[in-house]
Amino acid sequence: MISPAHPADAHPYLRAANAGVRHHTRALAPSDTSPPPPADRLHLDVLHAHLTTVHQLLDRLADTTRPPHPAAGRHLAAAHTHLWQAASEVHAAFHLLPSSTTAGTESSTCRPERLPEGPPVLTICQRHLAAGHVVRRKTTPTDLRAHTTACAR
């Protein structure tokens, strides 16, 4: 069965998000006059939010696609796992950057035994923990074994 062509305005929010990411990528391209600034914690917090949102979307797409199309559902589930790994690395990089309030990295490390010092650390850690629960519920340790991260959770 051939599906009808999608109208031009299908999924407008996804297209807008893609346009925003493309614009940001172009803005970070090196120019002749000055190199782009390195990533900061706020930048990585926003990127982590984007990755975890796409992670949730892939989770739902995999769940709804798997029953009628098992092979496609498996590929979406694999993408879900890989996107989690990307979000995990962004989270780890966030904690390795210095805090704007303190120059040392001691206060910026991820410590699951106590609450982080506040936004954006509190936000990114809560978001990452919530995404981690979904990953642990839907993937096996073998799926994640090839990937390790510097941040203990």
State pLDDT tens for residues 53-108.
999 999 999 999 999 999 999 999 889 989 999 999 999 999 999 876 544 444 45
Q: What is the pLDDT of residue 31?
A: 79
Q: What is the pLDDT of residue 145?
A: 67
Do 149 and 89 contact (CB within 8 A), yes or no? yes
**Per-chain mean pLDDT for the chain:** 80
Q: What is the pLDDT of residue 105?
A: 41
| Strand stretches in the chain, DSSP E | none
Do 125 and 116 contact (CB within 8 A), yes or no? yes
Q: What is the pLDDT of residue 99?
A: 78
CA separation (Å) from 93 to 33, 60, 109, 114, 133? 27, 27, 10, 20, 20
User: What residues have CB less than 8 Å from 107, skipping those under 6 apart?
Assistant: 99, 101, 117
pLDDT in tens, 116-129: 555 566 788 888 98
